Structure 1
Amino acid sequence: MSTAENQLVDKVVHIGRVTKVVKGGRIFRFTAIVVVGDYNGRVGIGHGKAREVPDAIRKALEMAKKNIVEVPVSKGTIPHKVIGKFGAAELVMKPAAPGTGIIAGGAARPLFELAGVQNILAKSTRSRNPHNVLYAVMDGFKKIRTVSEIASARGKTIQEVIR
């Protein structure tokens, strides 16, 4: 384990029970969605399935550590408004003034917390399915561009872009 991996904090967002009816009775399986992050712009989502809850959580945790992305957090919020989409879920994320807090419901809140975002306004406008909402937030995070990225793409300095 590297030192970066030791600093990751994990939160279980959702545990679902799936039932399969067979001739001999019912077979129960569990699904778990886990979010990991370091409160400093690095987050990941994992989804695991198993016959027992702890095994499902462990699998989801391993998957989440493999799927970590960098989030550009500036002054405790995101740089600009962005809309994340995944499946039927659509999530609108807007930067917020200091002291606003995390205005987000359901599955999106732990993801923002672990990313280190302290002030944000988020609204799930379509599906509230926790799995799709989380991946919609990740889609939004991947769409965020910083001023320096935009300036380098245009071949200009940061001051020229800001004006």
Structure 2
Amino acid sequence: MAFKGKSRKFKREKPEFDQQIVDLSRVTRVTAGGKQLSFRALLIIGDRKGRVGYGLEKGKDVQIAVNKAYNHAKKNMITIPIVYDTLPHKITAKFKAAKVMVKPAPAGSGIIAGSVIRTVLELGGVPNASARVIGRSNNKITNVKALFIALQSFKKEAINRKPKTKTTSNSQILENKEEIISEKEVQPVVIVEKKVAKKKVVKKVETKK
């Protein structure tokens, strides 16, 4: 009689960061011994909570290139400052021929950006932002590097700024009400008398002759 054992279910551990391959290409290197074929991978990783990084590595196999890029991205992690569910202010950065402009967006608008920039902001956990590539370069590597330069150069003053809207506590509201009531009690009541001008009625008496 065969023994039926219980199947064990192993739970897979969730990865520390979400990752997405942005660019994967073949690279050929010509040497004295001949041509060497390898793969180059551009990988974006992030925790969707403000931290994001990129890695660019080569390998003889696709999996080797991706693993090396993942380890490289973990070393290049940056923190994106998020203020009121968006970026602190507008900024423009340049890397070689690539030029990227990033600016805040109102709540509910989401991420208004193209392919590579959108991926970086989504994995970085930015809820609302607007970005575009101003330069003529369509190279994904240079555009990603320009974007990371922009995200790293936000001003600390804008990050630590206080909200413009004034919030009043319950105690302040009660104090204001008491002041208004006391002012009403102190103010004297002024009675204004209106004088009505009485019209004099003159009766004409007719005399009979």
**Normalised TM-score (structure 2):** 0.64
Residue 104 (structure 2) aligned to one of 95, 101, 107 = 95
The counterpart of 1:140, out of the listed 141, 150, 172, is 150
Output aligned runs, 1:32-51, within 5 Å.
32-51=41-60
Tell me what 1:8 maps to: 17
> Can you list the C-alpha shifts for 1:133-155, whole angstroms capped at 9, x where unaligned?
1111110111112446677xxxx
Alignment partners' CA distance in 2, 1:85 and 1:21? 31
Residues 66-112 of structure 1, C-alpha deviations (whole Å, 9 max, x = no match) = 00111101232101001122121110011111121211112111110
The structure carrying a bigger strand percent of its residues is 1
Change (3 A) 1:31 1:104: same
Query: How far off its partner does 1:19 sit?
Result: 2.5
Conservation of the 8 A alpha-carbon contact between 1:79 and 1:146 = no
Q: What is aligned with 1:154?
A: none
Q: Which of 106, 128, 144 does residue 138 from structure 2 map onto?
A: 128
Residues matched between the structures, number:
150
Q: Flag the structure with more relative contact order, 1 or 2, with Cα contacts below 8 A and sequence separation at least 6.
A: 1
One-letter amino acid of the structure 2 residue matched with residue 73 of structure 1: I
Runs (5+) with no aligned partner, structure 2: 1-13, 164-209
Is 1:19 the equivalent of 2:15? no
Q: Tell me how far apart the structure 2 counterparts of residues 46 and 107 of structure 1 sit (CA, whole Å).
A: 13
Aligned match of 2:171: none
Contact 2:42 2:57 in 1 (8 A): yes
Aligned residues: percent identity? 36
Secondary structure in 1 aligned to 2:121?
helix
Work out the CA distance in 1 between the residues paired with 2:132 and 2:117. 9
* Cα distance between partner residues in 1 of 2:109 and 2:80: 19
- 1:81 paired with 2:72, answer no
One-letter amino acid of the structure 1 residue matched with residue 105 of structure 2: A
| Structure of greater Rg | 2
Runs of 4+ in 1 over 6 A off after TM superposition: 22-25
> In the aligned structure 1, how far is the partner of 2:108 from the partner of 2:159?
27
> How far apart in 1 are the matches of 2:158 and 2:32?
61
